[in-house]
A = this chain, B = another copy of it.
């Protein structure tokens, strides 16, 4: 239910920028994608849950240290997060999926093969569907 209260919070703190809350939105997005509750992510990242809440809503401006911890807890690269936060100008080169999987240390060669097979299959199917529909 609770949905639109962000603006009030902004006004309350005197924060004049309600325009683009890139980091907060991005963090919340990633958090929900990973199926983590706010509290759980906060604990994983080693920050307090109210603070994380405020970060996500853009009424607090987290330090780089905090961003780093959050990026680790979310399993995304700090560069991506910083870029999103507008702290780095150019975007980091997006690694290809294949490349990333190849160099991953958490998967055995066999497992890599499985993921790669799935990925390639989807891409191929998707491309076909794409051409047909688009």
Contact = CB atoms under 8 A, between A and B. Distances in A.
Interface of A: 61, 63-65, 67-68, 71-72, 75-80, 82, 85, 87-108, 110-111, 114-115, 118-119, 122-123, 126-127, 130, 134
Dominant SS among interface residues on chain A: helix
A22 to B, nearest CB: 13
A132 to B, nearest CB: 12
Tell me the number of copies of this protein: 2
26 contacts: A61-B63, A64-B64, A64-B82, A65-B87, A75-B93, A77-B90, A77-B91, A77-B95, A79-B88, A94-B99, A94-B106, A95-B99, A95-B100, A96-B100, A97-B100, A97-B101, A97-B104, A100-B100, A100-B101, A107-B126, A108-B126, A110-B130, A110-B134, A111-B130, A115-B118, A115-B119
